[in-house]
Amino acid sequence: MRSIPLGKSGMQVPTVAVGCMGLSGLSDRDAGAFVDKALELGCNFFDHADIYGDGECERVFARAVGMSPSVREKLILQSKCGIVSGKMYDFSREHILSSVDGILQWLRTDYLDVLLLHRPDALMEPEEVAEAFDELERAGKVRHFGVSNQKTSQLRLMQKYVRQPLVADQLQFSLTNATMISSGMEVNMFTEGAVDRDDSVLDYCRLSDITVQAWSPFRYGFFEGVFLGSDKFPELNAVLRELAERYQTMDTAIAAAWILRHPAKIQLISGTTKPSRLEEIAHAAEITLTREEWYRLYLAAGHMLP
């Protein structure tokens, strides 16, 4: 598995990470087989969140790996907090600290490699976030910090107060959900793709050495569906199949390789819980699409070149 630097953390991480949101739907046996396959593929970076099954995903994971000190040192564990499901977002010092304690208990570990703050809290007081991060770092409970679903100005505001470098921003990104790309391509135009929906966050992250982590890499819309094999995207799927044959792989790998081809060194968060599908996605790390192939997929997904 190819590795990339995670922001300014000094860590090298696999370019394909394992999203664990679906683990709560698996039996312990199936979860164990899935995690074993991930580790076999070199995908030892696991992304969690306290709202995934209200902690059940993390509990299933801990049982699946048979968490122990010797096992823990082989893993890179990331989790997220800040969402109180169906009620509010909460970046208060008290909520962050209590959430991390719960996460560590569920994962049966003493520390997280990375903690992300999930979804921007409109009532965030950055001084409180800074206090929470300092306490967690001093206690050895969290080693590195980042965010999820935040735009440039929000990152800049938080970084003004937080002493630790923000190492990652987890953002929705796929062939069909590529406004981070189109807004930079259709500059100064009245087209739909020209709308800057994220404050040029991709460029900002590159300038600031913040790793973009791509979630829902195979979905279109906001959890509307998967574009792979969908009759809503016939041209895109035709090109994916053609390139899959050329590279002797699956269309899943080509769609993932499109994300990994970008020079921002994006980390892809896979959402599958199927060992075979994860193997297909991991194969993307071995594929480097040509510039012509990358743009051909971009156009086939419905974007334009001015």
Domain CATH code at residue 89: 3.20.20.100
**Coil/strand/helix, residue 157:** helix
pLDDT in tens, the chain (306 residues): 999 999 999 999 999 999 999 999 899 999 999 999 999 999 999 999 999 999 999 999 999 999 999 999 999 999 999 999 889 999 999 999 999 999 999 999 999 999 999 999 999 999 999 999 999 999 999 999 999 999 999 999 999 999 999 999 999 999 999 999 999 999 999 999 999 999 999 999 999 999 999 999 999 988 889 999 999 999 999 999 999 999 999 999 999 999 999 999 999 999 999 999 999 999 999 999 999 999 999 999 999 999
pLDDT at 222: 85
DSSP summary character for residue 69: H
CA–CA–CA angle 107, 53, 166 (5° rounding): 60
Residue 306 lies in a domain: no
Residue 197 lies in a domain: yes
Contact 282, 43 (CB under 8 A): yes
Domain enclosing residue 15, as ranges: 3-300
Residue 87 lies in a domain: yes
Residue 220 lies in a domain: yes
Contact 213, 171 (CB under 8 A): yes
Instruction: Tell me, rounded to whole angstroms, the distance of Cα 225 from its chain centroid.
Output: 18
Cβ count within 10 A of residue 279: 18
Question: Looking at the annotation, which residues are catalytic?
Answer: 52
Distance CA 248, CA 217 (A): 21
* Helix boundaries (H) for 87-163: 93-107, 126-138, 152-161
Instruction: For residue range 257-271, list pLDDT tens digits in order.
Output: 999 999 999 999 999
Residue 119 lies in a domain: yes
CA dihedral 224, 18, 77, 117 (to 10 degrees): -20
Number of domains in the chain: 1
pTM across the whole model? 0.96
Residue 64 lies in a domain: yes
Owner of token pair 């953002």: 171
Residue 86 lies in a domain: yes
CA–CA–CA angle 238, 241, 247 (5° rounding): 140
Phi/psi zone of residue 55: left (φ > 0), alpha (ψ -120 to 50 degrees), beta? Answer: left
In single-letter form, the type of residue at position 154 comes to Q
Pull the structure tokens for residue 38.
């991930």
**Coil/strand/helix, residue 274:** coil
Distance CA 216, CA 214 (A): 7
Q: 42-56: b or e for each residue (b if 16 or more CB lie within 10 Å)? A: ebbbbbbbbbbbebe
pLDDT at 38: 97
Residue 305 lies in a domain: no
